[in-house]
Amino acid sequence: MNILDKIVADKRIEVDFRKGLIPVSQLEQSVLFERATVSLTKALRESETGIIAEHKRRSPSKSVINQKSSVWDVAKGYEKAGACGMSVLTDGKYFGGSLDDLLAARASVDMPLLRKEFIIDEYQLLEAKAYGADVCLLIAACLTRNEIKHLSEFAKKLGLDVLLEVHNQEELEKSLMPSLDMLGVNNRNLKTFEVSLETSKSLSTQIPDDFVKVSESGISSVEAIKELKPYGYQGFLIGENFMKTDDPAQSAIGFIGQL
């Protein structure tokens, strides 16, 4: 069992537990549930930089990344830096995140927020909406084509943008459908954790222009972004590069300033 299989198995148990804790009716009564979402897809299409900056405390591959910086300060800093949007990890067991992080980010900024999560159930999309997300992530590696279709269509009904993440051509081929807004290529091999920008480059020609192309993982320099732009990428999800520093916001300001 690889790390993704393990995370998904744990996630199923977690989601069942949360369903018993907070009923759907309660999520739908949230103040934020009726809020009009802000489109990350539109922001990326209109941006010259395309940065989606992430808040991440830890990960299975790197252990502790940053346990000190507050979500509030990081979100404010990312917005000030000119990021197009912010990705907020909400998985607790493996990444040290929570839905409260999403709530704190929503309270501090107006830019689009992505709930970065291992989504396997429509209940998690209702949570995303109730806690102030504008975008949801679907990971092709842990979903069937039918599940991707069902979850992406449900997300669109809620007004959420959909970012679908793939790691290889097989995942991409099973995933292409009209209910997606953005296609993200993860440059990290989930089996070995090795990172290569060649993954984004090789898959770029297979992604129709209807979708905004997003490159994820291993983007640690301005040069990497300049290298990927000719391949049609308009979005760049940067996770650890900012968070591994003492001041993620200042790192983002310096990085985006170079673009």
Per-residue pLDDT reduced to its tens digit, 174-223: 999 999 999 999 998 876 778 999 999 999 999 999 999 999 999 999 99
SS3 of residue 11 by DSSP: helix
The amino acid that residue 159 corresponds to is G
pLDDT band at 64 (very low <50, low <70, confident <90, very high): confident
Model pLDDT, residue 1? 76
Residue with tokens 């099973």: 174
Per-domain boundaries in the chain: 3-258
Q: Are 55 and 85 in contact (CB under 8 A)?
A: no
The amino acid that residue 19 corresponds to is K
pLDDT band at 63 (very low <50, low <70, confident <90, very high): confident
User: What does the DSSP assignment read for 19-70?
Assistant: HHHS-HHHHHTSGGGGSPP--HHHHHHH-SS-EEEEE-SEETTTEES-SSS-
Model pLDDT, residue 13? 98
Average pLDDT, rounded, for the chain? 95
Burial class (CB in 10 A: 0-12, 13-18, 19+), 214: buried
Model pLDDT, residue 103? 98
The fourth-level CATH superfamily of domain 3-258 is Aldolase class I (3.20.20.70)
Model pTM score? 0.96
Per-residue pLDDT, averaged over 47-64, amounts to 89
Per-residue pLDDT, averaged over 44-51, amounts to 95
Residues involved in catalysis: 54, 56, 116, 165, 186, 216-217
Cα(146)–Cα(177) distance, rounded to whole angstroms? 11
pLDDT band at 65 (very low <50, low <70, confident <90, very high): confident
Cα(183)–Cα(160) distance, rounded to whole angstroms? 15
Q: What is the dihedral of CA 107, 97, 17, 22, to 10 degrees?
A: 0
The beta strand positions in the chain, using DSSP E, are 51-55, 58-59, 63-64, 85-89, 113-116, 135-139, 161-166, 182-186, 212-216, 233-238
List 235's β-bridge partners, or say none.
214
- Torsion region of 96: left, alpha or beta (phi above 0 gives left; psi -120 to 50 gives alpha): left
Model pLDDT, residue 2? 83
Per-residue pLDDT, averaged over 65-70, amounts to 86
Q: What are phi and psi of 32, to 5 degrees?
A: -80, -10
Cα(41)–Cα(51) distance, rounded to whole angstroms? 12
Model pLDDT, residue 68? 84
